[in-house]
Amino acid sequence: MRKRTLLSALLLATLAWGPTAGADTYRVDPAHTSVLFHVRHLFTSVTGRFERFDGTIDYDEKAPAKTHVTGAIEAASINTNVERRDNHLRSSDFFDVEKFPKITFESSGASEIDASGHKGKMQGTLTIHGVSRPVVLDVSFLGKGKDPGGHERAGFRATTTINRKDFGLNWNKALESGGLLVGDEVTIDLDVEATREG
């Protein structure tokens, strides 16, 4: 009897604390999602985007700290509205897309959830140019509801700043006036709309 009680308790604990227990799975909708980045060029900044990507979000409003996210971006889909610059970014000077076609992210946890349960920090591993580094994102849950077709959708936002040199993106050019052409810090902004599966 004691053994059965112990097994039951362990089973309940596993169900209660498993990473996706009670969570709904949402799939990123590329048509209503933007993946943007901003980096300094000379004295201002250039904004670019990636146009092909996918991802899933396991999210439980009652336990937001257990949220789990995976995502992948096609590096070749980079677009800064200047073809020559985009081709340079795809080359071995930067993303080397033939050798490293994917940029990926997988979360490892969430913390500092606010009282509303809608804002916090997400830890995870970002892989760019074949280099994996830990990152922390500021994340927000923007709400959920049914679209005109009756499908449940949810909105999320995330932002972080990375140093591109941490991922082996080292190319730069010295300026005659001093300094460098391209900044090291890159800000990433994600506005995500996702559809619940099932």
Q: With respect to residue 108, please indicate whether it lies within any of the assigned structural domains.
A: yes
Per-residue pLDDT, 19? 45
Per-residue pLDDT, 71? 98
Tens digit of each residue's pLDDT (9 = 90 or more) over 113-137: 999 889 999 999 999 999 999 999 9
pTM of the model: 0.85
**CA-based nearest residue to 89, from 187, 169, 174:** 169
Does residue 171 surpass a pLDDT of 50?
yes
CATH code of the domain covering residue 119: 2.40.128.110
Please give the tally of structural domains in the chain: 1
Q: With respect to residue 47, please indicate whether it lies within any of the assigned structural domains.
A: yes
Does residue 186 surpass a pLDDT of 90?
yes
Q: With respect to residue 138, please indicate whether it lies within any of the assigned structural domains.
A: yes
Report d(CA 11, CA 25) in Å as an integer. 22
Domain that holds residue 157: 19-196
Does residue 2 surpass a pLDDT of 80?
no
Report d(CA 56, CA 51) in Å as an integer. 17
Q: How confident is the model at residue 5 (pLDDT cuts 50, 70, 90)?
A: very low
Q: With respect to residue 53, please indicate whether it lies within any of the assigned structural domains.
A: yes
Q: With respect to residue 8, please indicate whether it lies within any of the assigned structural domains.
A: no
Residue 193 exposure: Cα atoms within 13 Å on the Cβ side = 12
Report d(CA 138, CA 110) in Å as an integer. 10
Per-residue pLDDT, 176? 67
Q: With respect to residue 9, please indicate whether it lies within any of the assigned structural domains.
A: no
Tens digit of each residue's pLDDT (9 = 90 or more) over 69-92: 999 999 999 999 999 999 999 999
Q: With respect to residue 13, please indicate whether it lies within any of the assigned structural domains.
A: no
Does residue 41 surpass a pLDDT of 60?
yes
Does residue 147 surpass a pLDDT of 70?
yes
Q: With respect to residue 151, please indicate whether it lies within any of the assigned structural domains.
A: yes
